[in-house]
Amino acid sequence: MSMITTTAWVPRGFAAPFPTKYKFDEEEFERIASLAKLQLDDAQDDLDEAREKEANGGVSDKEDDDTAMKVDTRDEIEIDDDLKEYDLEHYDDDDDNAGEAQQMGMFGNVKSLAYYESNKEDPYITLKEEEEDDDEREDLQILATDNLLLAAKIEDELAHLEVYVYEDAADNLYVHHDIMLPAIPLCLEWLDIPVSKPGVDKDSTGNFVAIGTFDPDIEIWDLDTVDCMYPNAILGQGGNPEDEKKKKKKKKSKKANDEYHVDAVLALAANRKHRNLLASASADKTVKLWDLHTTKCAKSYSYHTDKVCSLAWHAVESTVLLSGSYDRTVAMADMRAPNAQPMRVGVESDVENVRWDPHDPNFFYVSTENGIIHYFDARNATKDPAVSKSVWKLQAHDESVSSFDLNPVIPGYMATGSTDKTVKLWNITAEGPSLVVSRDFDVGKVFSTTFGPDPEVAFRLAVAGSKGTVSVWDTSTNAGVRKFFAQKVPTKATEEEVEDKLVGVNDDEDDSSSEDGEDDDDDEDESGSDQDSMDEDNE
């Protein structure tokens, strides 16, 4: 099984030109050991509980039986003359001079191993590595014109974050590095602030990502460090070793509280003005506000009666947060007034996603499980969701609108993705929305559709879904898009350009080159049929 649950772009200029290799030193060992101790303590508690339960029901004599069956037969074994010099019959005997044994932990006796600051100092390494280092450094290089694209992926029951580099000028998309995750990832949020990074000012610019999974903890990773073993910070119970020691004898509570989530994290939203604030939404029905400087929960909110699945900060009123829930309501609340009743709107089915209009801060969009997009005026919201009325609503898909995005550069340009496996582009005017084009990119059920964050890649749309592949669609090469947004396309497509240009990861260059011819033929057929469908839609 392979699936991509969500994606996120990184704007240009934030990634380090030469990402650093992860350094495992004594300080890092101590940091990881303190964080990992929580997991070891939990495992030990479970083991002790299982042993206690077994003892109450009768102790098993399996170990005693196994020991009784072991008979020392070394005297009966005839040792070959050629093997006598190795003294194999005494191989398992204890060494009298071995001294006190060393306790093994999660990382064994790694700390006691000898290591050298440079391979040049290691007498056992004789090969020169300067050329290899130069090649590796060049492979890791990220140019100022490159965008990073983050994809949360599940593959063969393993979860990881894939960090792609998208080279727009070269139409190239490739995996730069990946990060192993402890559970199935459900949401991503790129952060422009360093979190728990030694030697770096806390208010400087960074390149980090927050990841929410089926586990209640939120992990924060440094995207400029390759081959990390452990996250920079953990928001939640797993990131507080001191608190955990105090509660060691108590069972973990599954009841919602004001300090950490106790169920899956379904949504994350970083505040771009108050950069140290991160909001999270969970299946435990709460919204929490985290201070990234302290990695602690600053406040918890309980505005909803069911799972909270989507969040969005207001672009102008930076303390106002929009939250969507399975209770079929959307709450609009000022985080400075936690005890005040938020303004609400109601919809006909479970909320999937919420978005503020990036070009008019008075309005916001809501997508639902029934495939409908609602457009609301925030000024008309009341405390009673039953009386709310949308400006307009659109039956965008026959199934759930699992993802949608509004172009941050081009007003009125919206993309929707659905579990019906189609991606649709829309033109939104004062009269309402109209369909521009619909496509099936063979990504399976569509879970993510996100526009590029920079003006240079404003027409690029990242599409990913249940088949575990991600592609970047250059929508400016589509005839319908050029027709509706002719004045907004930065450079007109030339006749030589391929219709509906799609950039994906090539597993094999030979296979990709052989398929190009077939894809070109398919594109010609699809462009003709799609033009007909667009004419019908416009009529």
Choice among 94-103, 329-338, 439-448, 484-493 with the minimum mean pLDDT: 94-103
CA atoms of 226 and 409, how far apart (whole Å): 32
Q: In angstroms, what CA-CA distances link 144 with 148, 211, 458, 501?
A: 11, 25, 16, 23
The residues with which 167 forms a beta bridge, in sequence order, are 172
Choice among 145-149, 227-231, 395-399 with the minimum mean pLDDT: 227-231
Q: What is the pLDDT of residue 321?
A: 98
Closest CA to 452 of 499, 410, 416: 410
Cα Dmax for the chain? 96
Closest CA to 171 of 389, 409, 497, 408: 497
pLDDT band for position 255 (cuts 50, 70, 90): confident
Angle ∠(136,148,178) on CA atoms, nearest 5: 55
Average pLDDT along the chain = 81
Q: What is the pTM of this model?
A: 0.76
Q: What is the pLDDT of residue 269?
A: 98
The residues with which 312 forms a beta bridge, in sequence order, are 322
Q: What is the pLDDT of residue 497?
A: 60
Where is pLDDT greater, at 342 or 131?
Answer: 342
Q: What is the pLDDT of residue 114?
A: 60
Long-range contacts (CB closer than 8 Å, 24 or more residues apart) made by 171-178: 171/474, 171/501, 171/503, 172/503, 173/149, 173/470, 173/471, 173/472, 173/503, 173/504, 173/505, 174/505, 175/505, 176/19, 176/140, 176/142, 176/148, 177/19, 177/140, 177/226, 177/227
How much of the chain exceeds pLDDT 90, in percent?
Answer: 60
Mean pLDDT calculated for residue range 303-318:
96
Which tens digit of pLDDT belongs to each residue from 182-241? 999 999 999 999 998 888 898 899 999 999 999 999 999 999 999 888 899 999 988 765
DSSP β-ladder status, 470-474 and 501-504? antiparallel
Statement: residue 485 has pLDDT above 70: yes
Q: What is the pLDDT of residue 372?
A: 98
Q: What is the pLDDT of residue 158?
A: 92
Statement: residue 319 has pLDDT above 50: yes
Where is pLDDT greater, at 215 or 253?
Answer: 215
Q: What is the pLDDT of residue 20?
A: 86
Q: What is the pLDDT of residue 416?
A: 98
**Which residues touch 404 (CB under 8 Å, ≥6 apart)?**
353, 355, 365, 367, 373, 396, 414, 415, 416, 417, 449
Statement: residue 524 has pLDDT above 70: no
